[in-house]
Amino acid sequence: MKKYPWLYKIYKKIINQYFNKTNHHTILIQSQINIGSSKLILEICKTILCQMPNNLNSCNICHNCELINKKNYVDLYIIKVEKKKKFIGINSILNCLNKINNTPQLGSVTIIWIPKVHLLTESSINSFLKVLEEPPVNTLFFLENRNNFLLKDTLKSRCITYNIYAPEKKNSILWLKKNVSKKYTLEDLLIALNISENSPILAKKILKNKIWNTRKKLFDKIYELIKVKNILLLYKDLKKYVLKKIYWICSLILDAIKYFYNKNIKLINTDQNKLIKIINKKNSKKNLFKIIKIWMKCFFYIKNIPKVNINFILLESLIQWEQFFNF
């Protein structure tokens, strides 16, 4: 777990319990998205299935490790959503359970991993619960719940739960300094973390590709269009990375609301003080709350409604936003 050091403590605890034969048969990992929960589970599975584990780590050279590195998961079954479906149905569970009735093919244990456990249907949960009441011998279950979706208590009660949190900001900064270009300032790193919900993994992605510059260009454009009193011209700039850009706009409006209450408060976009002040100046506090609702609604529609008319939703949101400006 050298790649993501904030996961090592939980990794070590689970691996120690397994080798000491004190582990629970079903482990639930709960975390926010982009903290590395999938990487954690994969590394645990790899070490458990490794033929020559060394100091609580996989050897990375044995046959089993090579198969896992090639995504040929022998003795590791990953239950995912079937193509063109939104949930994990009972057939997916039954097909997997039929396979684990056989003995492990290469090692001494079989592992079942459900990366999106919140997508289990009622019938698939009921079927799965019956298995967990009397789990098969030499079988481990890993359930992953990113974003902490609500799960049935009957399911959670049959698991041992580990909660993963984002590392402290100072540790995230140290990690980012080692993993991104030195051209970024401390302020850049802090902003990247702020707009990534404190996920160092997501912050790194933002800083290592065009997204960082895209964000700055978007805010420059908004400032320019407020000056010329025509926010509707932002429409063309929103089409690419649309959800990211709406999220950034929401963070900007949120900063303007914070600024109303306390001019010394820590902002998300600390490099956009000039833009935040002009938005604050040209909108009342009441209107800013209405504006952020407009963009949150826009974000929800585009993300969650299939075949929604994105162009119409964007234009409607921009028209509503412009009406609130005191031009």
Same domain, 320 and 251: yes
Q: Please, are residues 1 and 45 in contact by the beta-carbon 8 Å criterion?
A: no
* Number of compact structural domains in the chain: 2
- Is there a single domain that holds both residue 215 and residue 75? no
In angstroms, the CA 184 to CA 73 distance is: 39
Q: What is the pLDDT along the chain (327 residues), one digit of tens a residue?
A: 788 999 999 999 999 999 999 999 999 999 988 999 999 999 999 999 999 998 889 999 999 999 999 988 778 989 988 877 889 988 888 887 777 666 566 667 899 999 999 999 999 999 889 888 888 888 999 999 988 788 889 999 999 999 999 999 999 999 999 999 999 999 999 999 999 999 999 999 999 888 999 999 999 999 999 999 999 999 999 989 999 999 999 999 999 999 989 888 889 999 999 999 999 999 999 999 999 999 999 999 999 998 899 999 999 999 999 998 866
In a domain, 172, yes or no: no
17 in the same domain as 150 = yes
Domain stops at, among 130, 164, 198: 164
Neighbours of 282 (CB within 10 A): 15
Give buried/exposed letters for 189-212 (b at 16+ CB in 10 A, else e).
bbbbbbbbebbbbbbbbbbeeebb
Q: How many CB atoms lie within 10 A of CB 16?
A: 12
The CATH number for 299's domain is 1.20.272.10
* Domain-embedded: residue 174: no
Residue 95 lies in a domain: yes
DSSP 55: T
223 lies in which domain range?
210-324
Q: What is the CATH number of the domain that holds 91?
A: 3.40.50.300
Shared domain check, 145 and 18: yes
Residues 45, 140, single domain; the answer is yes
